[in-house]
Structure 1
């Protein structure tokens, strides 16, 4: 009986090992990939955020009719607390600001769900994704500016309720906004290259 063909044995082992390692790695695009799992997580978060936003919207409408006679809120500035009357404009502003905050992130999640749907289909470089990313960046900028302005206004009108944001607090949101707009340009370039490739073929 002759010796086994070591080259053939090595090739067979390499094919088996390569196939096992290939299956061990998770795919990032297409059905059953990491993108599809993230799409499911985004769907769940979107439904929960939609419910929260709906409840807040109903609460804002109810705030128009809720009687506020002799209702006070306690404001603390860190050392002691003081009471101030809860007025209807203050209540409407507070509930409306929170509702707008959650509503903005609801729109952002809707855009992300559509983007991850294209990732799940394995076709991310679509012109619509460029528009969606720019919309996400714009809404994120509006939400960031709105939160900064609201906190600055509340800190002046009702000292002790909250502290205004400093410039350093805006570094992370501004960086995130810039990253989103850069990603939009990357997707735009990818869509252009795909279009040129299709025309060439």
Structure 2
């Protein structure tokens, strides 16, 4: 039996640039960040799922808030714990309504933020991010985040001062640094998108 020589094998070797049939389609090109099938489209799906879940949670909290108005509350206590012990606080109807209302407003604020984020990522998935409406959406996100931050600060201060004095500390300025920084970043991004939309409009008029 004769072994095949190198000259005989040359005709059987695949040509240069041969790509096997089992190559994955996702590996044919670099991973895109914008457009259909990109990272933005995957994040858009995640935002859609989170938006639906948060909408269901908001609806459940609203139902609980309305039910707490008509259902009498009695003989219930809540325990507020601290480093040096705890405090037994009777669960009255005004206290329950305050807690449910504050929680509903907090979740509803993030629902509005997710709604605007979904619309922004819809334009990213379409490959057209610099639209004037995205500037308004980013500003709405910044205002909502600022309102939620201020509401949490006021609500925690009211609880610490009036409802459970000595058991809860109000928010300090250091705890507000991260939310304030986030609000400023969102407003800066809104200005970046506004400038991008202006440059795009000027280029279209030039063409």
2:45 to 40, 46, 49: 40
Q: How does 1:152-167 map to 2 (within 5 A)?
A: 152-157=157-162, 158-159=164-165, 162-167=168-173
CA RMSD for the aligned pairs?
1.9
Task: Answer yes or no: is 1:86 the counterpart of 2:91.
Answer: yes
Paired residue for 2:6? Answer: none
What is the CA-CA distance between 1:164 and the residue it aligns to? 1.3
Q: How does 1:116-131 map to 2 (within 5 A)?
A: 116-131=121-136
The whole-number CA distance in structure 2 between the counterparts of 1:104 and 1:161 is: 27
Which has the larger helix fraction? 1
Counting matched residue pairs gives: 185
Displacement over 4 Å in runs of 4+: none
- Give a deviation string over 1:94-113, Cα, whole Å, max 9, x none: 01000000000000000000
The whole-number CA distance in structure 2 between the counterparts of 1:77 and 1:121 is: 51
Paired residue for 1:183? Answer: 189
The whole-number CA distance in structure 2 between the counterparts of 1:94 and 1:170 is: 21
What is the TM-score of this pair, normalised by structure 2?
A: 0.84
Q: How does 1:61-76 map to 2 (within 5 A)?
A: 61-76=66-81
Paired residue for 2:199? Answer: 193
The whole-number CA distance in structure 2 between the counterparts of 1:50 and 1:161 is: 33
What is the CA-CA distance between 1:24 and the residue it aligns to? 4.4
- Are 1:46 and 1:106, in contact at CA under 8 Å, matched by a contact in 2? yes
The whole-number CA distance in structure 2 between the counterparts of 1:73 and 1:175 is: 35
Task: Answer yes or no: is 1:98 the counterpart of 2:107.
Answer: no
Choose 1 or 2 for highest CA Rg. Answer: 2
The secondary structure found in structure 1 opposite 2:66 is helix
Paired residue for 2:5? Answer: none
Paired residue for 2:12? Answer: none
The secondary structure found in structure 1 opposite 2:67 is helix
Q: 1:87 to 1:161 in 2, by over 3 A?
A: farther
